[in-house]
Amino acid sequence: MQTNGDEPLKVVPVRHFSRWLAAVVVGILVAMTAHTLVSRIPTGEQICRTVVDGAGHHVRRCHEALQWRFSWDVVGRYLADFNIIKGLGMTLVLTVLTMVIGITLGALVAIMRLSSSRLLSGPAWLFTWFFRGTPVYVQLLFWFNIAAIFPTLDIGIPFGPAVWHIDAVNLFTPFTAALVALGLNEGAYMSEIVRGGIVAVDEGQVEAANSLGLTRFQTLKLVVLPQAMRVIIPPTGNEVISMLKTSSLASAVAVVEVLKAAQNIYSATYEVIPLLIVASLWYLLVTTILSIGQYYVERHFSKGSLRTVPLTPRQRLARDIQGVAGKFRTQRGVRV
């Protein structure tokens, strides 16, 4: 602390007027939003009842019926609806499977892309170029309709006799079409993410591994990829969360995921907004859970790159509480 001779000087904190103003504006906006969320609107119907007034006459008293602007009662009714939950299951399955395909394919394409052989890096570049360059929605429709140009699919010797053949119509169900379309598209994005991670690893690491006699594959597996993970994980977390929502496109090819399930209900009941809210609430919940998971995975892979591993939110809370308690105690003159 600064002192003026023996006297300690008084510290006057900086006043942040603009910060206060901003807080007031934001506060008002939050209050307005909250008010809208819980507001009620007239249904257009009258609720009437007959009452006896002071003079003993029977009088009809009417008032307008009100309902939640956002039909929370309807939202509550459908939130745990069997078909919605089933749709949610499909959304999760689609997300997990397409991400597995995307990450595997992405890693493969990234490694090919970094190969010194043009025969490998060329096609890898082409793959990424194509699948990133066209809308995923178009790709989805494409795979859904592929049976039209490949009525049958033969598996056998290339350009030679077929060993096994299947009808494409049977192979490309809405589900597989969605899986292939979303998986390939994700593979293109993941390949760029994985490549970025690999390139970020210092070349010296590879040389050190080589000088120990590790094979190329061992070097990749034991030295490069674990370090690339630190760079790969955060954007991959974003990709998972993004895929969770992109999978709703599959509703366009009649895969009954959570959005399609909601649509199926509102096409019969016309309760469009409440059911869209139901679907949104589920997306929000899963996204929240995924974000928490992402935090811990990132923390795990930051090992070695940071001098100290960041605290978990729980540890941070514990530290803050202790800190406050400590201050409190010292203020009351108790030594800690």
Partner 1 sequence: MSQPMIEASGVRKSFGALEVLRGVDLVVNRGDVACLIGPSGSGKSTFLRCINHLEQHDAGRLTVDGQLVGYEQRGTALYELNDRQICAERSQIGMVFQRFNLFAHLTALENVTLGPINVRGETPTSARERAMELLRSVGLADKAQNYPSQLSGGQQQRVAIARALAMEPKLMLFDEPTSALDPELVGEVLDAMKQLALNGMTMVVVTHEMGFAREVANQLFFLDEGVVQESGHPRDVLVNPKTDRLSNFLSKVL
Binding site for partner 1 (CB under 8 A): 202, 204-205, 207-216, 218, 222-223, 226-227, 230, 303-307
Helix (H) or strand (E) holding 84: helix 82-113
Nearer to partner 1, 72 or 301 (CB): 301
Quote the least distance from Cβ 170 to partner 1, whole Å.
43
Quote the least distance from Cβ 217 to partner 1, whole Å.
9
* DSSP three-state, residue 49: strand
Quote the least distance from Cβ 30 to partner 1, whole Å.
42
- The answer to whether 43 and 67 have CB atoms below 8 angstroms apart is yes
21: number of CA atoms within 13 Å, CB side?
4
Nearer to partner 1, 182 or 229 (CB): 229
Tally of CB atoms within 10 A around 276: 15
In terms of C-beta density within 10 A (0-12 exposed, 13-18 middle, 19 or more buried), how is residue 48 classed? Answer: exposed
Nearer to partner 1, 224 or 265 (CB): 224
What single-letter DSSP state applies at residue 309?
A: P
Quote the least distance from Cβ 303 to partner 1, whole Å.
6
- Where would I find the beta strands (DSSP E) of 80-178? 152-156, 162-167
Quote the least distance from Cβ 225 to partner 1, whole Å.
10
Nearer to partner 1, 191 or 227 (CB): 227
Could you give the CA distance from residue 237 to residue 299 in angstroms, rounded to a whole number? 13
Nearer to partner 1, 93 or 214 (CB): 214
